[in-house]
């Protein structure tokens, strides 16, 4: 369980940055080279590579070097784990809000009763 929690923490930490989220979104359309991924960002390549390195360290992205080109690919597993966690939270809070709604309606009905 601790390893899964660490992985989930790493995934959310990686996704906390808008540059890294944009890279993940771009890779969702398919593999891309580092230069293709870096092109839309107004930052030096070494700065962009730090973002890419963190995405690799957290397991969200894998890269393969062929000659001078590094091809990046998105890994779905960490995102799927985050999605499951978010769905569990949504389910829990939906249930709690439904209970609160019933309580409020019951209290209103008691208030309106003669």
Question: Considering its fold, how many domains does the chain have in total?
Answer: 1
pLDDT of residue 82: 87
Percent of the chain with pLDDT over 90: 67
CA dist., res. 61 & res. 104, Å (int): 47
106 vs 64 pLDDT, higher one: 64
What CATH number has the domain bearing residue 91? 1.10.10.10
pLDDT confidence band for 16 (50 / 70 / 90): very high
Instruction: Look up the pTM and report it.
Output: 0.74
CA dist., res. 95 & res. 9, Å (int): 25
pLDDT of residue 1: 45
Question: Look-up: residue for tokens 């000659």?
Answer: 67
CA dist., res. 85 & res. 105, Å (int): 30
Provide the mean pLDDT of the chain: 91
Q: Which domain holds residue 17?
A: 2-112
């Amino acid at each position: 369980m601790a390893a899964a929690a660490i992985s989930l923490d790493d995934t959310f930490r990686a996704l906390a940055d808008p540059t890294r989220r944009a890279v993940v979104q771009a890779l969702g359309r398919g593999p891309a080279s580092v230069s293709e991924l870096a092109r839309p960002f107004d930052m030096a390549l070494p700065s962009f590579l730090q973002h890419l390195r963190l995405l690799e360290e957290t397991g969200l992205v894998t890269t393969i070097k062929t000659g001078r080109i590094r091809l990046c690919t998105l890994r779905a597993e960490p995102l799927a784990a985050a999605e499951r966690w978010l769905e569990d939270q949504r389910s829990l809070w939906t249930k709690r809000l439904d209970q609160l709604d019933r309580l409020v309606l019951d209290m209103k009905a008691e208030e309106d009763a003669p």
